Amino acid sequence: MSRIEGVMKALKDQGRKALIPYITAGDPHPDQSVGLMHTLVKAGADIIELGVPFSDPMADGPVIQLACERALVHGTTLRQVIAMVKEFRKTDDSTPIVLMGYLNPMEAMGYEAFADAAADAGVDGILTVDLPHEEADEVAPLFAARNLDPIFLMAPTTTDERIKAISEHSSGYVYYVSIKGVTGSATINVDEVAEKVAHIHNIMALPVGVGFGIRDADTAAAISRVSDGVIVGSVLVDTIARHQADPDALKKALTDLLHPMRVAMDNPAS
């Protein structure tokens, strides 16, 4: 059983849902990333999605584009991101890490070298935004051989036929993109998400994490009731942008944002 599967199963047994924060590695500075990952865990994260910065993140909005630019100014590379995971693993052997990014940095590193290094560092899943399963023939066996869970996206526009096909190529969980738009854009509609997630669960059995548009504890709690996990990205990255000059204030601000989400998700009465 992969680390992601283990966490998802344990949460299910406890009747809880996964809280999955996203930050861009190297933002605001590569030296701070490992510390921020531990902060996220302390604040209640079950799984961390660690963004690999890319110069042209075309599925992301301005908040994450700027995070990529901040990380790239300091020369953050995919190899460094993998090294951050290795460092994180020295003191945390239980929190799954999903690398989330675009295909080209992986292709430039070489798929096999990437898969080897990621597995060796203790990475658990790979989410490649611009890699639909139809184009994943080359990487899928490399990931499978190293127990790296391939995480794919589903969207409001995804047809039943594709839901089935995507689930057959996925393990760990699938990432449901709750809105038509880029990261950090519109407001989430809980009823629509509930309906679509239920529909997806009629077709496949993997856990469904929901992302895009979750900005506060109330929304996180509402989405957690209709899905298996809540993915929070732009609002955290925006917080990083606002506190980039003061590392201690940044850790506190991230905690103040994430921890209430954890509490609200775990306490259905609230």
Partner 1 sequence: MSVKLTEEMLKALPDARGHFGAFGGRFVSETLIDSLMTLEREYLRLKDDAEFQATFDKDLADYVGRPSPLYFAERLTKKAGGAQIWLKREDLNHTGAHKVNNTIGQALLASFLGKKRIIAETGAGQHGVATATVCARLGLECHVFMGAEDVKRQSLNVYRMKLLGATVHAVQSGTKTLKDAMNDAMRDWVANVDDTFYIIGTVAGPHPYPLLVRDFQSVIGRETRRQSLVQAGKLPDALVACVGGGSNAIGMFHPFLADETVELYGVEAGGLGIETGQHAAPLCAGRPGVLHGNRTYLMEDENGQIAATHSVSAGLDYPGVGPEHSWLKDIGRAHYVSVTDDEALDGFRMLTQIEGIMPALETAHAVAYAVKLAATMDKDKMIVINISGRGDKDIHTIAQLDGIEI
Establish if 77 lies at the interface with partner 1 (CB under 8 A). Answer: yes
Q: Which of residues 97-126 bind partner 1 (CB under 8 A)?
A: 102-109
Q: Would you say 132 and 162 are in contact if contact means Cβ atoms under 8 Å apart?
A: no
Q: Indicate if the alpha-carbon torsion angle 99, 105, 107, 111 is positive or negative.
A: negative
> Of 27-35, 158-166, 215-223, 232-240, which part binds partner 1 (CB under 8 A)?
158-166
CB of 56 to partner 1, least distance (A): 5
Write b or e for each residue in 100-114: b if 16 or more Cβ atoms lie within 10 A of its Cβ, otherwise e.
bbbbebbeebeeeeb
CB of 247 to partner 1, least distance (A): 25
Q: Which of residues 192-251 bind partner 1 (CB under 8 A)?
A: none
Establish if 129 lies at the interface with partner 1 (CB under 8 A). Answer: yes
Q: Cα angle at 169 between 200 and 124, to 5 degrees?
A: 100
Closest CA to 227 of 205, 204, 194: 194
Q: Which of residues 23-62 bind partner 1 (CB under 8 A)?
A: 54-62
Selected binder of partner 1 within 18, 82, 85, 182 (CB under 8 A): 182
Selected binder of partner 1 within 17, 152, 230, 240 (CB under 8 A): 152
Residues 6+ apart with CB under 8 A from 199: none
Residue 238, number of CB atoms within 10 A of its CB:
18
CB of 2 to partner 1, least distance (A): 22
d(CA 211, CA 178): 6
Residues that bind partner 1 (CB under 8 A): 54-62, 65, 69, 72, 77-79, 102-109, 129-132, 134-135, 152-159, 162, 166, 177, 180-182, 185-186
> Known catalytic residues?
49, 60
